[in-house]
Amino acid sequence: MSRRGHAAQGRAQVVVPLDVITVDAGRMAGDLEYMVAQLDEPLADPAPLNVLYISQLAREQGMKVLLSGGAGDDLFTGYRRHRAVALDRYRNWLPFGVWRGLERASARLGQRKTWAQRITKLVNSAGLEGDNRLVNYFRWMSESSLRALYSPDFPAQLTAVDAAEPMLEFLASLPSQVTPLERMLALEQRFFLADHNLIYTDKMSMAVGVEVRVPFLDPDLVDFAARIPTQYKQRGSVGKWVLKQAMEPFLPRDVIYRPKTGFGAPIRRWMRHELRDLVGDLLSPASLKRRGLFDPTAVQRLISQNLQGRVEVSYVLLSLLCVEIWCRRFVDHSEG
């Protein structure tokens, strides 16, 4: 179906035709294996499928090139973690003992609700220092909780592996005077943007012969954005503040300042309902035992707790799904 939107350009009204693509759990489940195969890696994010569906529609309508607003958050701020880092200067106002008390209190909130998870992460991050605190914002779950899912033999193969090491080494190479928020944006651009968003956008669009260009990554604009002080990027709770100010003459305020909406899918609901059979198949005890990476008992416990609503770990389960899909596609086939 389609609807029509309006954008203000000066005093003129520009009418923009919009197409809405409806995606259900069945379609996503059917395309999940294709997504992992196309990406060549177990990237656990439903957003690549959205790129695929949009690119397919564009191709059907004769469009071979699309423009993306990607990199705006990575250059000018916009993620929740940027707001947390910007407020970090208030952390030192509270004694360490108070932070420890908040950490213990947050543990009693449980992990059933997303807001409780965010509070817990914020408090736990506050207990870390320097670059370790910045890197912690990128974790889906704690290192101890993740290792509890490993099979008994798998940790022995990871003795010299630290997932945070590449990011910490990169941050260590930056001048010491670079502010925490600038360091966070540098992380976004080096890892989250380059190794995540741009990768899946390029691969999924090119899968149907569509090229996606990213105007925000014009070298002159990237250089200019790097010279803008962070107080003009993250202003209180408003991310991309300077960019939004620059766009006020051209776009309605309700468009510019509307709440941020992720480019995702209702994974939390689907994991408990529509994708339940897929989880039961790919993450069955027999499948996990055969793979040897994750402990079947620990994973089954996590699945059960998620179904009961005792914890919210849908994206962790999606990660496990994608690992198993990737192994079946690239490990099992290569061995056969």
Cross-strand bridge partners of residue 131: none
Region 20-48: what's the mean pLDDT? 89
Number of neighbours of residue 11 by Cβ within 10 angstroms? 5
* Residue-level pLDDT at 87: 76
Is residue 21 very low, low, confident or very high in pLDDT (cuts 50, 70, 90)?
confident
Statement: residue 9 has pLDDT above 60: no
- Residues 279 and 317: their CA atoms lie apart, in Å, by 8
* Sequence-ordered strand ranges (E) for the chain: 2-9, 12-19, 65-67, 211-213
Over pLDDT 70: what percentage of the chain?
A: 83
**Which of the pair, 307 or 205, is modelled with greater confidence?**
205
Are 273 and 28 in contact, with CB atoms under 8 Å apart?
A: no
**Of 147-156, 193-202, 280-289, 327-336, the least confident:** 327-336
CB 136 within 8 A of CB 124: yes
pLDDT of residue 4: 40
Q: What is the DSSP letter of 176?
A: T
Cα separation of 158 and 189, whole Å?
27
Q: Where are the domains of the chain?
A: 21-44+265-336, 47-145+165-259
Q: What is the mean pLDDT of the chain?
A: 86
Local structure of 65: helix, strand or coil: strand
Residue 301 pLDDT greater than 60, yes or no? yes
Residue 308 above 90 pLDDT?
Answer: no
Q: Judge whether residue 138 has pLDDT over 50.
A: yes
Coil, helix or strand for 55?
Answer: helix
* pLDDT-derived band at 111, boundaries 50, 70, 90: low
Q: What is the 3-state secondary structure (H, E, C) of 28-54?
A: HHHHHHHHHHHHCCCCCCCHHHHHHHH
* C-alpha R_g of the chain: 22
Six token digits for residue 233: 């990027």
pLDDT confidence of 7, banded at 50, 70, 90? very low
The set of residues, in sequence order, having a beta carbon less than 8 Å from that of 231 and lying 6+ positions away, is none
Q: What is the pLDDT of residue 1?
A: 35
pLDDT of residue 93: 66
Confidence of residue 267 (pLDDT cuts 50, 70, 90): confident
State the pLDDT at residue 131: 93
pLDDT class for 304, splitting at 50, 70, 90?
very high
- Provide the whole-model pTM: 0.84
- pLDDT of 177 reads 94
In terms of Cβ atoms closer than 10 Å to its own Cβ (0-12, 13-18, 19+), residue 106 is middle
How distant is the alpha carbon of residue 257 from its chain centre?
A: 21
